[in-house]
Amino acid sequence: CRRLPDPEPLMHGAVQSPQYPQPYSPNLQEQWDLSVPEGYQIQITFTHLDIEASTGCYYDALTLLYDAKILGKFCGQENSADGHHPGSQPIPSPGNRLTLIFQTDDNNPERHQNVGFSAQYQATDVDECSAPEPRDGSGPLCSQICLNTVGSYLCACHHGYELRPDQRSCVLSCGGGIFDELEGHLFSPGYPSPPPYAVSCQYIISVEPGFTVTLNFTDIFHIESTDTVQGPNCPHHWLQMTIPDREPIKLCGGKSPGQIVTNSNTVRLDYHTDDEGLSQGWSLDYSTHRVKCPFPGNMANGRVTPILTEYFYRDYIFVRCDQGYKLMMDGQEIEAFSTMCQSDEKWHLTLPKCHIIDCREPEPLLNGGVTFLSGFQNQYRSVVQYHCNEPFYTLLGGINVVFTCEADRKWRPNNDIIVSPTCIPVCGQPTKLIYAYQR
Q: Look at residues 381, 305, 312 and name the one whose alpha carbon lies nearest to residue 342.
A: 312
How many residues are listed for the chain in this entry?
Answer: 439
Shortest distance (Å) from residue 436 CB to another protein: 8
Distance from C-alpha of 335 to C-alpha of 320, rounded to nearest angstrom: 10
145-167 core/surface letters (b: 16 or more CB in 10 A; e: else): ebebeebebebebeebbebeeee
417 touching another protein, by CB under 8 A: no
Between 27 and 438, CB nearer to another protein: 438
150 touching another protein, by CB under 8 A: no
Distance from C-alpha of 204 to C-alpha of 83, rounded to nearest angstrom: 75
Between the alpha carbon of residue 235 and those of residues 160, 241, 296, the distances in Å are: 25, 15, 49
11 touching another protein, by CB under 8 A: no
Between 347 and 393, CB nearer to another protein: 393
* Residue of the chain from 275, 376, 430, 439 that contacts another protein (CB under 8 A): 430
Using only C-alpha atoms, the chain has a radius of gyration, in whole angstroms, of 50
Shortest distance (Å) from residue 411 CB to another protein: 24
429 touching another protein, by CB under 8 A: yes
Residue 215 CA from chain centroid, whole number: 21
Between 132 and 430, CB nearer to another protein: 430
* Residue of the chain from 165, 331, 364, 428 that contacts another protein (CB under 8 A): 428
Task: List, in sequence order, every beta strand (DSSP E) within 255-347.
Answer: 259-261, 266-272, 281-290, 292-293, 302-305, 311-312, 316-321, 325-329, 332-334, 337-340
Between 165 and 364, CB nearer to another protein: 364
Between 419 and 434, CB nearer to another protein: 434
Per CB under 8 A, the segment of 31-39, 99-107, 110-118, 426-434 that binds another protein is 426-434
Please give the residues from 194 up to 233 whose contact with another protein meets the rule CB under 8 A: none
Start-to-end C-alpha separation, the chain:
157
Shortest distance (Å) from residue 435 CB to another protein: 10
Shortest distance (Å) from residue 428 CB to another protein: 4
Between 376 and 435, CB nearer to another protein: 435
The binding track of 385-404 with respect to another protein, each residue x by CB under 8 A or -, is -------xx-----------
Per CB under 8 A, the segment of 60-68, 192-200, 316-324, 430-438 that binds another protein is 430-438
Burial of 128 (0-12, 13-18, 19+ CB in 10 A): middle
Between 171 and 426, CB nearer to another protein: 426
Between 4 and 436, CB nearer to another protein: 436
Q: Are 300 and 353 in contact (CB under 8 A)?
A: yes
427 touching another protein, by CB under 8 A: yes
Between 14 and 426, CB nearer to another protein: 426
SS3 helix, strand, coil % of the chain, rounded to 5?
A: 0, 45, 55
Between 373 and 426, CB nearer to another protein: 426
Shortest distance (Å) from residue 399 CB to another protein: 20
Between the alpha carbon of residue 156 and those of residues 96, 144, 173, 194, 285, the distances in Å are: 25, 7, 13, 21, 26
Total of residues contacting another protein (CB under 8 A): 14
3-state secondary structure at position 246 = coil
Q: Are 17 and 118 in contact (CB under 8 A)?
A: yes
Bridge partners (DSSP) listed for residue 337: 319
Q: β-strands 116-125, 91-92: how paired?
A: unpaired
437 touching another protein, by CB under 8 A: no
Per CB under 8 A, the segment of 138-146, 324-332, 333-341, 422-430 that binds another protein is 422-430
Per CB under 8 A, the segment of 15-23, 98-106, 326-334, 425-433 that binds another protein is 425-433
Please give the residues from 328 up to 387 whose contact with another protein meets the rule CB under 8 A: 367
The binding track of 260-299 with respect to another protein, each residue x by CB under 8 A or -, is ----------------------------------------
Task: List, in sequence order, every beta strand (DSSP E) within 110-230.
Answer: 116-125, 145-149, 152-156, 161-163, 170-172, 177-179, 184-187, 200-206, 211-222, 226-228
Between 298 and 438, CB nearer to another protein: 438
Distance from C-alpha of 313 to C-alpha of 14, rounded to nearest angstrom: 72
Q: DSSP secondary-structure letter at 193?
A: S
Contacts to another protein by CB under 8 A: 367, 392-393, 425-434, 436
